[in-house]
């Protein structure tokens, strides 16, 4: 999402690093580039003005200009101020002392409220909560059916009363939750324009009838400054408690994510990072600042890995590696589990790869899919005992996967090389996760 901004900031920082000593004029010239980068990313101009002023004042101090590494000192200051701009620290969802915790979703049309109602409910279900979703969007065609479909998929109950006004339905849902032991209630409301007085009055009544623990404003990161203005209008009416920024995985400038906390004074609590139901993360300002500055986000990567990998299966795989019994079936399982960690470019960025380096790597997601197709075209015996795969079997596997025989040979060579590597780790020296083919022009390499 922030790749363009990261590139421009990296260009500005390169000038700071190239000089052994910095003058005040050097700092101000570099900060002009930072200012332009933020404005081009659609960050609110007032936010940019105040941010650049604070960073410049800190950067022209004697502690920086007289430092042996002034460029690094300035980057440190930018990192700290970006973190502060986005809220400073993670703001958790408030849990009511007496259940149920009521979370009301609000926002503009098309921001993703219904989808993220489901994502949030699923997120807290994994933490042992018993959520109830409430379908109060009675205006958008199929909105109720969408939430009900999500409820069936996630095995989470959905409350809806046909022909009942949303403020009354929401109140009835709270009573239903108390009777049935649901300790969290997520109310999906209709999208509305902040200039629509009638619709805004309705959502105010929903709030009045339910006394929600949290009122979250759902904002599409691709909307830009209009989203920030809408957030302010909703906050003035409802006194929102937090924000969810959706489509953070998209190719957008990202100004809304950097501006909304400053403009509304309300924290970003969650970000949507993809279309899947598990693609939602608590928002950590310090981690996001590190991502923007190309410093990586190892903590989030570790959390994704913990959520994606089955611990029992991981232990079994390690034991197989130690015994040199790792098969192509196990190899396929690693692909499936890694899917939950995001695409390879995103994983590399979280590991600290600079934006330019990630692009230059030319991660070939298609190669991963071809590898999976080849393994899936094999019989169970062939996956367990690759040695039995002769010329005729290779032709059959290649035809089934829609690839060339050379691709099958390449995969088998890689798997054989991996087996040789495992022998080096046997005898108590540890195991490891098998590598994966990853780049165009580099298909024989592993990482």
Q: DSSP letter for 191, please.
A: P
Q: Which of 295, 328, 346 is the last residue of a domain?
A: 295
Question: CA nearest 144: which of 107, 187, 108?
Answer: 187
Whether 443 maps to a domain, the answer reads: no
Asked if residue 130 and residue 269 are part of one domain, the reply reads: yes
Sequence-distant (≥ 6) Cβ neighbours of residue 322 within 8 angstroms:
422, 425, 426, 431
Query: Residue ranges of the alpha helices (H) in 310-364?
Result: 311-322, 328-338, 344-350, 355-361
Determine which of 242-251, 263-272, 335-344 has the lowest per-residue pLDDT on average: 335-344
Whether 442 maps to a domain, the answer reads: no
Residue with more model confidence, 317 or 56: 56
Q: Which of 248, 267, 295 is the last residue of a domain?
A: 295
Given its phi and psi angles, is residue 146 left (phi above 0), alpha (psi -120 to 50 degrees) or beta?
alpha
Whether 61 maps to a domain, the answer reads: yes
| Confidence grade of residue 445 (pLDDT, cut at 50, 70, 90) | very low
Q: What are phi and psi of 135, to 5 degrees?
A: -90, 85
Q: What is the pLDDT of residue 5?
A: 78
31, two tokens: 């900060």
Residue with the two structure tokens 């623990």: 213
Mean pLDDT of the chain: 79
What would the mean pLDDT of 142-171 be, rounded to a whole number? 94
Determine which of 15-19, 110-114, 218-222, 307-311 has the lowest per-residue pLDDT on average: 307-311
Question: CA nearest 148: which of 164, 132, 163?
Answer: 132
CATH number of residue 138's parent domain: 3.40.50.300
* Helix (H), strand (E), coil (C) string for 68-118: CCHHHHHHHHHHHHHHHHCCCCCCCCCCCCCCCEEEEEEECCCCCHHHHHH
Count structural domains, the chain: 3
Question: CA nearest 131: which of 188, 177, 189?
Answer: 177
pTM (2 d.p.): 0.66
CATH number of residue 404's parent domain: 1.10.260.30
Whether 131 maps to a domain, the answer reads: yes
The proportion of the chain whose per-residue pLDDT surpasses 90, expressed as a percent, equals: 32
- 11-20, 31-40, 353-362: range with highest mean pLDDT: 31-40
Cα–Cα distance measured from residue 191 to residue 234, given in angstroms and rounded to the nearest whole number: 12
Asked if residue 394 and residue 257 are part of one domain, the reply reads: no
For 75-117, the pLDDT digits (tens) are 888 888 888 988 888 889 999 999 999 999 998 887 889 999 9
CA 349 from centre of chain:
12
CATH number of residue 77's parent domain: 1.20.120.140
Cα–Cα distance measured from residue 224 to residue 253, given in angstroms and rounded to the nearest whole number: 8
Whether residue 118 contacts residue 151, with contact meaning beta carbons closer than 8 Å, is answered with yes
Asked if pLDDT for residue 14 goes beyond 70, the answer is yes
Asked if residue 204 and residue 172 are part of one domain, the reply reads: yes
- 10-14, 57-61, 410-414: range with highest mean pLDDT: 410-414
| Confidence grade of residue 63 (pLDDT, cut at 50, 70, 90) | low
Asked if residue 281 and residue 323 are part of one domain, the reply reads: no
Residue with more model confidence, 94 or 430: 94
Asked if residue 59 and residue 189 are part of one domain, the reply reads: no
Asked if pLDDT for residue 143 goes beyond 70, the answer is yes
Asked if residue 140 and residue 71 are part of one domain, the reply reads: no
Residue with the two structure tokens 């046909």: 162
Asked if residue 153 and residue 57 are part of one domain, the reply reads: no
Asked if residue 215 and residue 288 are part of one domain, the reply reads: yes
Whether 193 maps to a domain, the answer reads: yes
Whether 92 maps to a domain, the answer reads: no
Whether 438 maps to a domain, the answer reads: no
What would the mean pLDDT of 161-187 be, rounded to a whole number? 95
Asked if residue 247 and residue 142 are part of one domain, the reply reads: yes
276 lies in which domain range? 101-295
Q: What is the pLDDT of residue 73?
A: 79
Length of the chain: 447
Asked if residue 320 and residue 414 are part of one domain, the reply reads: yes
Whether 226 maps to a domain, the answer reads: yes
Asked if residue 236 and residue 117 are part of one domain, the reply reads: yes
Asked if residue 137 and residue 251 are part of one domain, the reply reads: yes
Q: What are phi and psi of 181, to 5 degrees?
A: 75, 25
| Confidence grade of residue 135 (pLDDT, cut at 50, 70, 90) | very high
For 282-293, the pLDDT digits (tens) are 988 888 888 777
Cα–Cα distance measured from residue 335 to residue 330, given in angstroms and rounded to the nearest whole number: 9
């Amino acid at each position: 999402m922030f790749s363009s901004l990261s590139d421009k900031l990296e260009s500005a920082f390169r000038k700071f690093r190239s000089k052994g000593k910095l003058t005040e004029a050097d700092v101000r010239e570099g900060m002009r580039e930072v200012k332009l980068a933020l404005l081009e990313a659609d960050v609110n101009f007032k936010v940019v003005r105040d941010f650049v002023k604070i960073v410049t004042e800190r950067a022209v101090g004697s502690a920086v200009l007289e430092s042996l590494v002034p460029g690094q000192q300035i980057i440190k200051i930018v990192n700290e101020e970006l973190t502060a701009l986005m809220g400073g620290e993670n703001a958790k969802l408030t849990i009511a002392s007496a259940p149920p915790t009521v979370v009301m979703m609000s926002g503009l049309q098309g921001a993703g409220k219904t989808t993220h109602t489901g994502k949030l409910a699923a997120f807290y279900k994994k933490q042992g909560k018993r959520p109830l979703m409430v379908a109060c969007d009675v205006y958008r065609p199929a909105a109720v059916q969408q939430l009900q479909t999500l409820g069936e998929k996630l095995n989470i109950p959905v409350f809806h009363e046909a022909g009942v006004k949303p403020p009354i339905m929401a109140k009835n849902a709270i009573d239903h939750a108390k009777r049935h032991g649901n300790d969290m209630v997520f109310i999906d409301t209709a999208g509305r324009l902040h200039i629509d007085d009638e619709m805004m009055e309705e959502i105010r009544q929903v709030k009045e009838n339910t006394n929600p623990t949290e009122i979250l404003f759902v904002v599409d990161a691709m909307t830009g400054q209009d989203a920030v203005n809408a957030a302010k209008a909703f906050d003035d009416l409802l006194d929102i408690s937090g924000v969810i920024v959706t489509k953070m995985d998209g190719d957008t400038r990202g100004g809304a994510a950097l501006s909304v906390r400053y403009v509304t004074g309300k924290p970003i609590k969650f970000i949507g990072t993809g279309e899947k139901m598990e693609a939602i993360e608590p928002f950590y300002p310090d981690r996001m600042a590190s991502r923007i500055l190309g410093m990586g986000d190892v903590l989030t990567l570790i959390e994704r890995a913990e959520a994606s990998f089955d611990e029992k299966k991981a232990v079994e795989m390690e034991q197989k590696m130690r015994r040199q019994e790792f098969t192509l079936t196990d190899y396929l399982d690693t692909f499936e589990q890694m899917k939950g960690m995001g695409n390879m470019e995103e994983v590399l960025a979280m590991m600290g790869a600079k934006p330019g380096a990630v692009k230059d790597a030319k991660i070939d997601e298609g190669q991963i899919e071809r590898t999976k197709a080849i393994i899936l075209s094999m019989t169970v015996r062939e996956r367990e005992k690759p040695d039995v795969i002769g010329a005729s079997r290779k032709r059959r596997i290649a035809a089934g996967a829609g690839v060339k025989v050379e691709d099958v040979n390449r995969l088998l060579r890689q798997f054989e090389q991996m087996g040789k590597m495992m022998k080096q780790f046997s005898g108590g020296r540890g195991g490891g996760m098998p590598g994966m083919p990853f780049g165009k022009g580099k298909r024989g390499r592993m990482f």
